[in-house]
Structure 1
Amino acid sequence: MALLREWGLTLGRWAGRPGARVQEDSGDPDVRRVREAAAAADWDTVRDVLEARPESEDRTELLWAVGDTAGVERWIVGVIEAEPDAALPRLVAGIRHISWGWEARTGARAQHVSREQFEIFHDRLRTAETHLYEAAEREPRWTSPWYGLQTSGRGLEVDSSVARRRFEATVRRDPYHLGAHKQRLQQVCEKWGGSHEEMHAFARTAAFGAPGGTPLGQLVAIAHLEEWLSLDQGRDDAYMRRPEVISSLREAADHSFRHPDFVREGAWLGLLNTFAMAFSLAGDRASARECFQATDGRVTEFPWNYLDGSDPAAAYRKQRSSAGR
């Protein structure tokens, strides 16, 4: 699931040489706690951690920590049977089946994925959707089931109108939900059937339609990185160094992490890593140094895996050195 979202802060694993490390949470001890509980099939602790984090505070990362844990798909069945009216076990089962589905598909390009892999992938995603709809029916005000349905829907290639309605259902419940907006950005980008123009328009509308200091400014940087990724070598660097791209990145930075209302909580580290990479590729060394100084060697897998899929921390170190940090 590293292709679908980004990781965060302090309890990470060292990646490569000292000086930069890939992190597996965003400084929240509950991420590690819930992951360990999921691995131990300790539903009581999983439930306690998830229930202590209200939907209004976005528990997406906690859910993925459970969902990415092998074996959850086995023991969660018994929990659902024991708690037939509860939404939370179904939500967990849905998120796990999304992650489990992508494990079967792998991150390879479609032409390198076998028919059998695709069948398993789609079967698991359909199971995920069943669980998520059941969770949404039991807790109609929750955001997470609809966020999960955005992700499963992209894998199942649902109709564009269905994909849009799922996004709208998510943001009706949480207008500035970062994960929902990032999923929507992927939905409208060129590699998923959209276009660069639609992607950039969505990113800017969402980022600047939100109050200053929210993390949605990250969407602008991601959109530029997505277009950079789509271009051939040589053209990609030229694109990032265009004056209008640099200006766009600075404007988004001013509206997000440079804004006086910005608070370093939640997904802040991923935001700074994304801008660090974008400014580095754009040749804006001063802005890149600002971001590297703020991240202080703490590396999120996304977006650095776009530069080095096997060692994101190495990509971070290289660009940090180039920026003079």
Structure 2
Amino acid sequence: MSGTSGRARSSNGPTFDLFDNTPELIPLRTAARSEDWNAVRAFFSGLDSVDKVSSAVAVLAGIDGTEFLLERAVADHPGDPLPRAALAERYVRIGWAIRSSARAQYVSADQFDRFHTWLRKAEQLLIELCAEQPAYAPAWTARLMTARGLQLGQAEARRRYDRLSAHHPHHYRAQVQLLQQVCPKWSGSWEAAHGFARECATASPDGSNSGALVALAHIEHWLELDGPEATAYLRGIPVRDDLRNAAQISVLHPDHRPDWNSVGAHNAFAFAFSIGGHFQDAAPHFAFLGDRASEDPWDYTSDPRTTFLKYRKSALGA
């Protein structure tokens, strides 16, 4: 996430640190670590869009130990939706860390039990919050995460997404969450995943980040394939052209205004084009990024830093 365009490359290579890449978020981290709820609330009060609020909730929930600050804030400010939404997402993060990112067959029964316990705690907060504040995007976005983790099914997840999109029709964080839900690993299908990604890309205003969902869907598909089949998939002309079109109507469109999700979106395109060997297409994305790498999707490789540097050199020649 970032609100700036490209940055000069340093001799130290890429950084995968969110706060290095988006220094505007450092005051939020400082306030959270100081357990200063007034400063946290003041940070959110200065945000000028729903997308920023939702992204900042995710950042706050991702800071270790913030559940204690948020539990106190929920008790002290029962009418404020922010602490409840952030606490719910924090509970989801704690639960998912217990579960891990491993496939279900490699997750123990005890891990699943503790995972579901945390997600049910989050869901209890979110049910009440969404009833009170039906247009509050961070709450519905978190409910897409609990729906997936609690295996509530495709129809329920889509219902939740539709409730959110009725108020915020092109909400990028929610789109990314539902894309995960409709992939085969969560009982979806590739037809549903690619269809949803293209639907988001074409329905969103020109210059939005939503086109990056096309890249994320292709990356997910690539991950499911093995060896030569995986290589051939992203090298294929239909996939390349799909990626090109999505990039042109989103982050490469003249109307694109970089925001806190743009770094992740450009990294998705840079990764997908590079894995497919389409380095000329990857070049403008690396030019935008400079040293700003994101863990997702580069963590899908065995050495994210080396892989980023290698592909950036292939794309930009330096």
- TM-score normalized by the length of structure 2: 0.91
Decide whether the 8 Å contact of 1:8 with 1:299 is kept in 2: no
The list of structure 1 runs, each at least 4 consecutive aligned residues, that deviate by more than 3 angstroms after superposition, is: 7-10, 25-30
1:28–1:138 CA distance, 2 compared to 1 (3 A):
farther
SS in 2 for 1:59: helix
Decide whether the 8 Å contact of 1:9 with 1:300 is kept in 2: no
Instruction: Write out per-residue CA displacement over residues 164-214 of structure 1, whole angstroms, 9 at most, x where no aligned residue.
Output: 111111111211111111111111111111111111111111101222111
Q: Which residue of 2 aligns with 1:4?
A: none
Q: Which residue of 1 aligns with 2:56?
A: 62
Decide whether the 8 Å contact of 1:9 with 1:25 is kept in 2: no
1:175–1:121 CA distance, 2 compared to 1 (3 A):
same
Decide whether the 8 Å contact of 1:88 with 1:135 is kept in 2: no
Could you tell me how far 1:159 is from its partner in structure 2?
Answer: 2.4
1:83–1:290 CA distance, 2 compared to 1 (3 A):
closer
Instruction: Write out per-residue CA displacement over residues 21-67 of structure 1, whole angstroms, 9 at most, x where no aligned residue.
Output: 11314854442221222222211111221233255343222112211
Cα separation, 1, equivalents of 2:211 and 2:22: 22
Instruction: Write out per-residue CA displacement over residues 93-149 of structure 1, whole angstroms, 9 at most, x where no aligned residue.
Output: 111101111121122222222222111110111111111222223323211110110
Q: Which residue of 1 aligns with 2:72?
A: 78
1 or 2 for the larger relative contact order (CA 8 Å, sep ≥6)? 2
SS in 1 for 2:221: helix
Which of 218, 225, 248 is the matching residue for 2:219? 225
Percent identity of paired positions between Structure 1 and Structure 2: 36
Q: Give the residue type in structure 2 aligned to 1:278.
A: A
1:102 paired with 2:73, answer: no
Q: Give the residue type in structure 2 aligned to 1:236.
A: A
Does 63-72 or 92-101 show the bigger shift? 63-72
Which of 279, 284, 288 is the matching residue for 1:294? 288
Q: Which residue of 2 aligns with 1:312?
A: 304
Cα separation, 2, equivalents of 1:306 and 1:8: 22
Which of 30, 40, 64 is the matching residue for 2:34? 40
1:201 paired with 2:195, answer: yes
1:150 paired with 2:144, answer: yes
Q: Give the residue type in structure 2 aligned to 1:182.
A: V
Cα separation, 2, equivalents of 1:157 and 1:26: 35
For structure 2, the residue ranges without an aligned partner over 5 or more in a row are 5-10
Cα separation, 1, equivalents of 2:41 and 2:193: 37
Does 228-237 or 311-320 show the bigger shift? 311-320
1:304–1:279 CA distance, 2 compared to 1 (3 A):
same
Does 55-64 or 296-305 show the bigger shift? 55-64
Q: CA RMSD in A?
A: 2.1
Q: Which residue of 2 aligns with 1:267?
A: 261
Decide whether the 8 Å contact of 1:176 with 1:216 is kept in 2: yes
Q: Which residue of 1 aligns with 2:184?
A: 190
Does 275-284 or 84-93 show the bigger shift? 84-93
Decide whether the 8 Å contact of 2:2 with 2:259 is kept in 1: no
Q: Give the residue type in structure 2 aligned to 1:23.
A: D
Decide whether the 8 Å contact of 2:154 with 2:182 is kept in 1: no
Q: Which residue of 1 aligns with 2:8?
A: none
Decide whether the 8 Å contact of 1:269 with 1:300 is kept in 2: yes
